[in-house]
Structure 1
Amino acid sequence: MKISQKEQIEMLFEDHLEGRGLKPETIKRKSIELNRFLSYLESIGRRDLREVSSKEIEEYFLFMQEKGYSSSTIITSHAMTADLFRALHKNDMILTNPMARTEMYIKEKSGVKVILTEEEMDAFLCSIETATGYGKRDRALFELMYVTGMRVGEVVKLTVEDVDLSHSEVLIRKGKGDKDRIVPVGQVAGRFLQDWISHARNWFNTGESDSLFLNSKGRTLAATAVRHRLKYYLKQAGIEKEGVSPHSLRHSCATHLLAGGADIRFVQELLGHESLETTVTYTREVVTGLKRMHRMYHPRENEIYPQGETL
């Protein structure tokens, strides 16, 4: 009876781990991570491990982060993936080891949210020139992320059919928690989306992709590419704040809405938070800002702390 490539990989991987003298419980844990990784590859149409690229591996770790896996689980999966491709390379099943060029992005658990101010967001977005197709795409992408608070993993999965500009809304399919939700787009982001879809997207769509945002080869724009474009435009705008990521646009969206007086339950629905407690964490950023403004501008505070003085 002929065994499948998946079964062959599982057997080779287990032999490799046993050869290293690992404990049975460690081998079992790594085998679980292996199956999770193989299932992900199958979901993106990658069934041959010999064709897996460093970029696809990086996207897997980003996928895990967007799905809410803990840092320790992602680190465990990274170690498993390194073991897997080391074993494949050792047994001449792959010519080069893609893990040698793979970066891993881990969301810090410090609780500190990196947020751009409204002025910084405006400078960032206005730094994106829309005279080119790339500019039209990127302006639409980042305007949409900021106005909706979408996760990067959600925005790259959008299709053209998910966008309903006649009703100024977008359908987010299978967000975190595998739940669909509809979010408002607004007039500004809607205008840039219309410009991208009507005047530039067809230049990128070399095949039959229905993805909303495409790369130069006509394929779905990757989460890693979004990160790279973000860093590029931050530099263009002269914003040197440390730790800014695509998730910072989500943090900024929530914080600016609450600071502007939005109901916390609206923000909860917009962001797709299951628990209101998750949304409440953003109010701390608003309170901190209020305290700062209060101390700077309230007459009673100015009597105690003249301009420029602190405790």
Structure 2
Amino acid sequence: MTALLDATNVFRSEDYSVTIRTLIMLLYSTRMRIGEAIMLDVEDFDIANGVLIVRNTKFDKTREVPLHRSSVVALSAYLGRDGQPKRHRGTRALFLSTVGTRLDYNCMQKAFRRLAETARLMPRSSSCRPRLHDLRHTFAVETILDGYRDGNEPGNRIALLSTYLGHVDPASTYWYLSAAPELMALVGRRLEQSLGEAS
């Protein structure tokens, strides 16, 4: 993350660098979808209660995402900064482009590829390259891994995790977990212990 945030200096516009840095820190701290973050309006940032209101998401749901105090401070500073672009008429976007419009999803994907290259985040293969969405995936896997490591029943965390991520039901969350080798290894060890105790 440090390398990725440092790489935001690659952009010519200082304000755009600040915008991308703030956006990435928000994605890292909340694990929101990039599409959700760029669709936030200024009114969706509830400073007093320290939450973001994420409206009409992928599954047509609205949810509140709690913010750490440091995120509230960072977003407040971002909105109050000097030299920000003048808002294009009617634009209420929380994150602005250099011309005062809402950030574009495809442009954000392109910007992230440039950041990843600058930060030297290496792809695992030609089909497995770093993505902004990996922050969400890693969070989901680590949350369940923590459950295993603590010796608790990680299945109890699925409903909470599913709600936090904005999934319609836990089945969507399980999909995130199915391709995690670390998780499969822990599940395998737990199964072996169970079978050993049974015999």
Matches within 5 A, 1:125-204: 125-129=5-9, 132-200=14-82, 203-204=84-85
Which shifted more, 141-150 or 280-289?
Answer: 280-289
Matches within 5 A, 1:115-130: 121-129=1-9
3-state SS of 2:64 partner: strand
Q: Output the CA distance in 2 between the equivalents of 1:167 and 1:239.
A: 36
- Provide, for residues 97-127 of structure 1, a one-character-per-residue CA deviation record: whole Å limited to 9, x for no partner: xxxxxxxxxxxxxxxxxxxxxxxx4432344
User: Which of 232, 252, 260 in structure 1 is aligned with 2:138?
Assistant: 252
Q: Give 1:141 shift.
A: 0.7
Q: Give 1:183 shift.
A: 0.8
The alignment status of 1:280 with 2:162, answered yes or no, reads: no
Aligned residues: 172
Aligned partners of 2:39 and 2:93 also within 8 Å: yes
Q: Give 1:234 shift.
A: 1.0
Aligned residue identity for 1:124: L
TM-score (norm 2): 0.73
Q: What is the aligned partner in structure 1 of residue 96 from structure 2? A: 214
Q: What is the aligned partner in structure 1 of residue 158 from structure 2? A: 264
Q: Which gives a bigger RCO, structure 1 or 2 (Cα 8 Å, sep 6+)?
A: 2
Aligned residue identity for 1:255: V
Q: Output the CA distance in 1 between the equivalents of 2:185 and 2:23.
A: 28
Same amino acid, percent of matched pairs: 26
TM-score (norm 1): 0.49
Larger Rg: 1
Aligned residue identity for 1:287: L
Q: 1:169/1:216 Cα in 2 relative to 1: closer, same or farther (>3 Å)?
A: same
Aligned partners of 1:148 and 1:253 also within 8 Å: no
The alignment status of 1:243 with 2:129, answered yes or no, reads: yes
Q: Give 1:135 shift.
A: 2.2
Unaligned runs of 5+ in 2: 148-153, 190-199
- Provide, for residues 140-183 of structure 1, a one-character-per-residue CA deviation record: whole Å limited to 9, x for no partner: 11121222222222111110110123322100110122111111
Q: Output the CA distance in 2 between the equivalents of 1:258 and 1:133.
A: 37
3-state SS of 1:204 partner: coil
Q: Give 1:248 shift.
A: 2.2
Q: Output the CA distance in 2 between the equivalents of 1:272 and 1:223.
A: 19
Aligned partners of 2:122 and 2:129 also within 8 Å: no
Q: Output the CA distance in 2 between the equivalents of 1:124 and 1:165.
A: 27
Q: 1:266/1:196 Cα in 2 relative to 1: closer, same or farther (>3 Å)?
A: same
3-state SS of 1:229 partner: helix
